[in-house]
């Protein structure tokens, strides 16, 4: 019998290959991985599925980017326990400041190693 998942994470990225890599990395550690491919669909998923952590890409198609989605999650009192990790190829100081201003809990630069991803998710996923 499979052990139950110990943590639920929503991965939001428009690249299916990246979502698959994240899924393979996290599920090997009993972390349930849910997926969304746009900022707007991520809001619906967060509200319905209540993940502990959202891994959010910044640059996505559509009318809402990852920073806007992050801010909306952080501004929703019902989702106050949700941690948001921004994952992006952008790495300038101004990008990090924008992510913090949107309420991001952590900033993970692409490309990242599976070990770095797992360590970050485990650290932020601990219930206080």
Q: How many domains does the chain have?
A: 1
Within-domain flag for 2: no
Tens digit of pLDDT for each residue in 17-40?
999 999 999 999 999 999 999 999
Within-domain flag for 110: yes
Tens digit of pLDDT for each residue in 80-128?
899 999 999 988 999 999 999 999 999 999 999 999 999 999 999 986 5
**Chain-centre distance for alpha carbon 113:** 15
Task: Output the six-digit token pair for 32.
Answer: 């349930």
pTM of the shown model? 0.94
Strand order in the sheet with 7-12: 31-36, 7-12, 53-57, 83-88, 106-109
Is residue 52 a contact partner of residue 8, using CB atoms and an 8 Å limit? yes
Question: Residue 108: which CATH number?
Answer: 3.40.50.2300
């Amino acid at each position: 019998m499979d052990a139950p998942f110990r943590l639920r994470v929503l991965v939001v990225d428009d690249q299916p290959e990246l979502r698959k890599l994240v899924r393979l990395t996290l599920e090997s550690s009993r972390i349930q991985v849910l997926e969304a491919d746009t900022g707007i669909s991520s809001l619906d998923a967060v509200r319905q599925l209540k993940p502990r952590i959202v891994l959010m890409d910044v640059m996505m198609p559509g009318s809402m980017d990852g920073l806007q989605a992050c801010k909306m999650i952080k501004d929703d009192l019902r989702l106050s326990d949700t941690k948001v990790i921004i994952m992006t190829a952008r790495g300038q100081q101004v990008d990090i400041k924008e992510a913090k201003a949107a309420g991001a809990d952590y900033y993970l630069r692409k490309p990242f190693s599976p070990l770095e991803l797992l360590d970050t998710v485990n650290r932020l996923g601990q219930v206080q």
